[in-house]
Amino acid sequence: MTGGGSGIGKAISKLFASQHAKVYVLDLDEKSGKETVDEINKGGGKGFYKPCNISKHAEVKQLIDSIYKEAGSINILVNNAGIAHVGNIEGTTEEDLDRLYNVNVKGAFNCMQAVIPLMKSKGGCILNMASVAAAVGIPDRFGYSMTKGAVVTMTLSVAKDYLKDNIRCNCISPARVHTPFVDGFLAKNYPGKEKEMFDKLSKTQPIGRMASPDEIAFLALYLCSDEAGFITGCDYPIDGGFIRLNN
């Protein structure tokens, strides 16, 4: 699990652990990563924190190999770590684009490339975190949308190429989810108007609210379970009607 220290990643990590998965939380933020693992272990689960910069190819491969040796197998990879950016193409610098690519695209690539050879003998499941921004135009999300479009197409490619190895690969495309990132974004950009802007952003989903991280986690749990064994090469919107009901 990459980016398991907070938000959606934390919810997925804790839910998987509650279902008896041994969860390795890969996160650059040691404090939040260890907090997630502590909560897992206090709840009777098995969690392990591993610091990792997913944009570094050699670092990722070395860590994944060490986890494989330690655990004996790797059955599931959840590529959740990602960063955001606000701006249209004119408001996106070359540095912004490189930073987004290195985490959201190259990071997912690095993890999948390291894990797939280790899954080939027994099969496995890969779940990538995309976004509704890959399917519809969202104002001022040029660079972010570009990376999430890449996540969807990488998902399709991996699913096609590794059918014979019994490796399934899917992705989830959430709309807005109420995470600590959202609260921080509103506090930074709309001081004194946080509630007003939160309500405004919530209403962009036809259902009238943001998702909770737990709601995303339950979809992730299903897609990574044996019960979803017939599902691969799919992008699942979980968006409160955002893609198809916004007229």
Contact 110, 56 (CB under 8 A): yes
Angle at 157 between CA 108 and CA 142, to 5 degrees: 55
Q: Which of 132, 130, 170 is nearest to 150 (CA)?
A: 130
Of the residues 24, 49, 68, 144, which is catalytic?
144
Q: What is the CA radius of gyration of the chain?
A: 18
**101 annotated active-site:** no
Contact 219, 185 (CB under 8 A): no
DSSP state of 233: S
Taking the C-alpha atoms of residue 52 and residue 58, their distance in angstroms, rounded to an integer, is 11
Question: What is the amino acid identity at position 96?
Answer: D
Helix (H, G, I), strand (E, B) or coil at 101: helix
Q: Token pair for residue 190?
A: 């709309």
Contact 199, 208 (CB under 8 A): no
Contact 156, 222 (CB under 8 A): no
Angle at 23 between CA 21 and CA 28, to 5 degrees: 165
Label residue 30 exposed, middle or buried (CB < 10 Å: 0-12, 13-18, 19+): exposed
Strand duo 167-174 + 46-50: pairing: unpaired
Which residues carry out catalysis? Answer: 144
